[in-house]
Structure 1
Amino acid sequence: MSELSALTFAWPWLIILLPLIWVVWWWLPAGPQSAPRVPFAEAWRSAAGAASWHQMLTPRSLILLLVWLCLVLAAMRPQVPGERDDILLSGRQMMLLVDLSLSMSINDMRVNGQQTDRLTAVKHILEDFIPGRQGDQIGLIVFGSQAYVHVPVTPDLAMLTQLVDEMEIGMAGPRTALGEALALGVMHLDETREARADDERVIILLSDGAQTIGNVFPREAGIFARDHNITIHAIGFGSDDGGPGGSPSDIDEPALIAIAETTGGQYFRARTSTDLSAIYAAIDELEPTDSQQRFVRHARDVFYWPAGLALVLLLGMGWLPSLWPRGRKEVP
């Protein structure tokens, strides 16, 4: 009963089809006797010759009218509320920019006591950071010699975490197009911006080197982000000596500091995976989720209720010969 009280129709305008059966009955001429027997047409042609409405409202004509009503209701696509889905919503959209140049393969990080490369350490920290941002919409841009959107801004953080795990060193090329990655992040956030005045958009940039390719300079990209009201938190990543057999870090710290300060963000230096974990905790403090729990109900189609009733009525007419006499009286 509660579902019926919440019944709605997706296409209510199809109610205009309801009088169609009377239009057909009134205008459709009787076919030749040799024509195939059509129960609907015969029933209503028989009713057309009746002398009064009382004679027209026979059991079979009433049932056919009810069948037509059920079919029209089914065509109107009746719906009832479906299962409740709880969602967390906030005004923050966040884009992660991850450097996948060849230098991310340097083994100068430790994760769970094991020596590992920089990208593995980044994945390990992101897989803890992302699930804690429930209510935010987060995307992922990877960059090397070129930058591209690996994951568009999405509230599906489980899917994002899975795709973070699938990142590979060199998949975007061996070099570092830092400025182009930033510009792409700004443009993508601007395209997906929600139509609310209180939305907050953030870019978290993680790079272990300086720009080596690209037509957009990092400082110019920082100004571009500032003009679009986007905050950038920049993280310079990698040990100072490059680890066992490595070389000193070539992070362009002045550029990263300038980018962060231009947009009102902060610059962080991560020399170990522990540093990186602490930095993401600090970003959580700077950019709290501040989300509100809401819920949505997806409509559930129930067109099969009236359609099923129409089928039962037609089958019932076939099982009751008294409603379908083999012959019909001719009306003078």
Structure 2
Amino acid sequence: MEPDERLGLYRTMVLIRTYEESILREYHADKKPAFDIGAGLIPGEMHLSAGQEPVAAGVCAHLTADDAVTATHRPHHFAIAHGVDLERMTAEIFGRVDGLGRGRGGHMHLFDPATHFSCSGIIAEGYPPAVGQALAFQRRGTDRVAVAVTGEGAANQGAFHEALNLAALWKLPVVFVVEDNDWGISVPRSASTCVTSNALRAGGYGIPGERVEDNSVEAVHAAAGTAITRARAGEGPSLIEVHTLRLWGHFEGDAQGYRSDLEGVPGRDPLPTYEKQLRAAGVLHDSGDITVASIAAQARDRVEAAIEFAKRSPEPDPATALDHVFARS
């Protein structure tokens, strides 16, 4: 890869991590002394994607705003990598009227027509809509693609298999991405899934399948590049499974007593790992115009501006509760 491409991946990963750390701070700021999931500036569940940045950065580097992405209940990394407006997304997470869904959806139901991005709290829900988007792209004669993301646990859902079957049958321009972070909430993959890799399941539908190990952003970038190029050329769908990492709990407040791997998790953090690689290659430096510190500072400025935007945005008026629910004829 060219140095600029590698720097672009690193910038995206830093922005995602900075965002997740800041949302973590705001989420917990007023939920003490006893944790109350309904309290505070950001009430409700919160699923953060720290550790999974390489998947979103590597895949979305090949996409444009005309391509579609359907993500999971852990969506922020893909939303950021795909270019969803940071301020409006943050306002939505805070439940404010300037949010993507006018504060109605929250962090698990982000919807952005400008970038064709959506997500859902329902397991494997994004796969069938991505097939529908890909069908529309195909019938319109465009080279646009749809990317559907889910977790390894969701690969056991019927929607996963139905989507792969139709996409393969109709040779649709869709790329299926599975994030294997080892845990389906509190259940290890080995206790729930009969195959060692969900990439093997692609063969059952006659489409290419590839598993990317080591949470490597450049390996994800390479695999996604092949799959997306194939889809744009009208050659049909592909499946990519990435062995990634969930640094934090399934949700905020998760004590993670079920995890036997917690002690080694910090050493597998993909951000310092990639930073070390780029330093060794002479791509990242501590002096000059582009430094580790300047990239981090730019990310902090963007994220803090988005959080301030969200806090300034008013909460929805209860009298408007039924607005924006139904389309008007």
User: Normalised by the shorter chain, which TM-score bucket?
Assistant: 0.3 to 0.5
The alignment's TM-score, normalised by the length of structure 1, stands at 0.34
Normalized per residue, the structure richer in strand is: 1
The alignment's TM-score, normalised by the length of structure 2, stands at 0.34
Higher-Rg member (1/2): 1
